[in-house]
Amino acid sequence: MMRFALIVALASLVFSCGSPSGTTEKSETSANTLVSKVKEIKYEVIAKEGDGIVIKDLSFDTTLLHHIKGVKVTFTIEVSEKAIDKLNKDGYTSYFLDLDCQPDKGAIYSHKKVIKSGDERININLGNFISRPGQRSLEMLLPFRLLEMEKGEHIVTVSIGAYPVRFKKDTISNDYKVLEKVTEIAHASTRVKIKITAPKLYKMVIQNEKFWLNTKKRKPSGYDFSFGGTGYPDLFWSLSCGDDFVYHSPVKKNCTDYSKSSSTTPFYCTDEDEITITVADYDDGPFNKESDIIGIWKGKITNLPKADTLSFGNVEAFIIVTKLFD
C-alpha cells in the first residue's frame, strides 16, 4: 500500500526532461526583481539563495500532465562538486528537490511530506534526487486538485529547494536505498510568486455498493496460487485520480463477489482529470509480488453516472454511486 502510494506520487510529480517549453519574455521592474511571462503566466522572484547550487531557466505553464490538470514547472539545476563535497562531509547522501506551494486561499502542498513517510527503496541519483555534481533539467506538476483553490485568479508562492537527505546503510545495492532522513532546511532555494487562474474543482465521493466477476471469462479457481486452498481471488478495488492514489478498499478473501459497500474519502478533481477504478486480486507472499489486475475503468467525472452499473475487464458488474458536494 505504502509502496504503491509512494511510487505513484513520485511518478506523477517529477521526471527528467530536455528543456523548458514556451517562450520567455523579460521586462525590467527593478534592480532586484525580475518578472517573466511564459504562456501568460508571470512569476516574480522574491528570494534566491544557495552556495554551489544554481536553479535557473524557471518557467510555468498550465497543462494536463500525467492525466491531471495543473501548473507545470520546468527548471534547470546545477550542482557543483563543492556542494556535493559539503553534503557528504555533513553525513548526507543526496539532495532532494522539493516543490512547495502556498496559495493565497487553498491548501499548502509539498512533495517532501510524501517521501518522508515512505519506506521503499529509492534510486539515490534519479528523478528529483541528486548525488553527483552536474546539471539536470526537471519538470514538476502542481495539481490543481491538491491545491484546493476556488475557481478564479490566485496569487501562489512557489518554492524550489534542494534538501540534504540521508539513506539507510546496507550492502544490498549501492544505488537503491531506503530513505532515513530529510533535513528541514534547504542548502539552496528559489522562491517566486505567480498569478494563475484556477479551474472549477469538484469535491466528490465514489461509492461501490457491490461488484462481482464474470466467471465465464475466467475460472475463479485460476487466480490465486495456494496449497490446499480454493484458488479464488482476494478481491479489492482502488481509485486513482490521474496518477494520484486516492483509495484502496479492504480485501475480501476467496470470493468472486464483493458484497460490502465501501467508498472513498472526499477528494477534489477537475473535469479534465482522469479517474481510474481498478479491481484486482490481492497477492502477498513468496510466489506473488504484485496484485493481479482483474479489470480497469478509466474516464472523467463527466463519464461517471450518479448511480449505475459499470462493466469492465473481467468485472461483470460494478455498482457505483457518485456523490458531488458544493
Q: Where are the domains of the chain?
A: 2-198, 202-325
Q: What is the mean pLDDT of residues 232-248?
A: 93
Cβ neighbours for 207, distance < 8 A, ≥ 6 positions apart: 261, 262, 263, 264, 320, 321, 322, 323
- Tell me: the pLDDT tens digits for 222-234? 665 554 455 789 9
Q: How far is CA 176 from CA 25, 121, 142, in A?
A: 41, 5, 27
Cβ neighbours for 167, distance < 8 A, ≥ 6 positions apart: 93, 94, 122, 124, 177, 178, 179, 180
Report which listed range, 41-50, 173-182, 208-217, is most confident: 208-217
Q: Which three cell numbers stand for residue 268?
A: 477534489
Q: Residue 115 belongs to what H/E stretch? A: helix 112-115
Residue scoring higher pLDDT (310 or 38): 310
Residue 28 pLDDT more than 70?
A: no
Secondary structure class of 83 (helix, strand, coil): helix
Secondary structure class of 176 (helix, strand, coil): strand
21: left (phi over 0), alpha (psi -120 to 50) or beta: beta
Confidence at 167, pLDDT banded by 50, 70, 90 = confident
Confidence (pLDDT) at 289: 45
CATH number of 202-325: 2.60.40.150
- Tell me: the pLDDT tens digits for 270-295? 999 999 999 999 876 434 445 689 99
Long-range Cβ pairs for the range 75-78 (8 Å, 24+): 75/20, 75/137, 75/138, 75/160, 75/190, 76/19, 76/20, 76/135, 76/136, 76/137, 76/138, 77/53, 77/130, 77/135, 77/136, 77/138, 77/162, 78/53, 78/54, 78/134, 78/135
